[in-house]
Copies of this chain bind each other. A is one copy, B any other.
């Protein structure tokens, strides 16, 4: 091989250098989503990313750091969008809440990313560092966002102040986590466990909204049509 050849065609390795970490993260998301954290094998991550196992350690110092990087890329990065959505929402707060939940489902819940919160809850006890990281980087901000939706509703006179704000937030979160947990557990391996996520989310949201919304008591309240 003549030296000039090296100049003519950039070797594969170089060409993809910048893409490597991202390719690894994509592969890692796949494997963590399918197996969970402890049962995920770095061999498999490396194989799917098309690199050697040693290469993983060039970019991530440990399995745990790799997992955190997956979380950062796929979840943390998305919080800002949620905040923007809330801040710029033009309409009423009931619609905001419904759209917020549906939008989350469409953009993350339907994808492999939805496995991440499930995996973290599943293994939090065995890997408390990961749990603490996730609470700080994801759960706390997310809960504040949801609380801010309720506060917007109260401030605009659309919602009564919930009996307990934390509980109300959890009532929203519980539906989302239920979907995510179900999807990545029984729905994977037991026939007849199908769900209709969006229908369920809207129905659930409606229950919360009708329980929270200020109603005119003499006239029958207009109810948002139930999803069927």
Contact = CB atoms under 8 A, between A and B. Distances in A.
Nearest to A131: B189
Main secondary structure of the interface of A (DSSP, over half): helix
Given A36-B122, A128-B189, A223 B206 contact: yes
B94 A204 contact: no
A116 to B, nearest CB: 13
Interface in A188-202: 188-190, 193, 195-196, 198-200, 202
> Interface size bucket, A side?
35 or more
Interface in A159-212: 163-164, 167-168, 170-171, 173-175, 177-178, 181-182, 184-186, 188-190, 193, 195-196, 198-200, 202-204, 206-211
A219 interface: yes
A85 interface: no
Nearest to A94: B224
The 4 closest A-B pairs by CB, nearest first: A122-B122, A174-B178, A124-B185, A218-B218
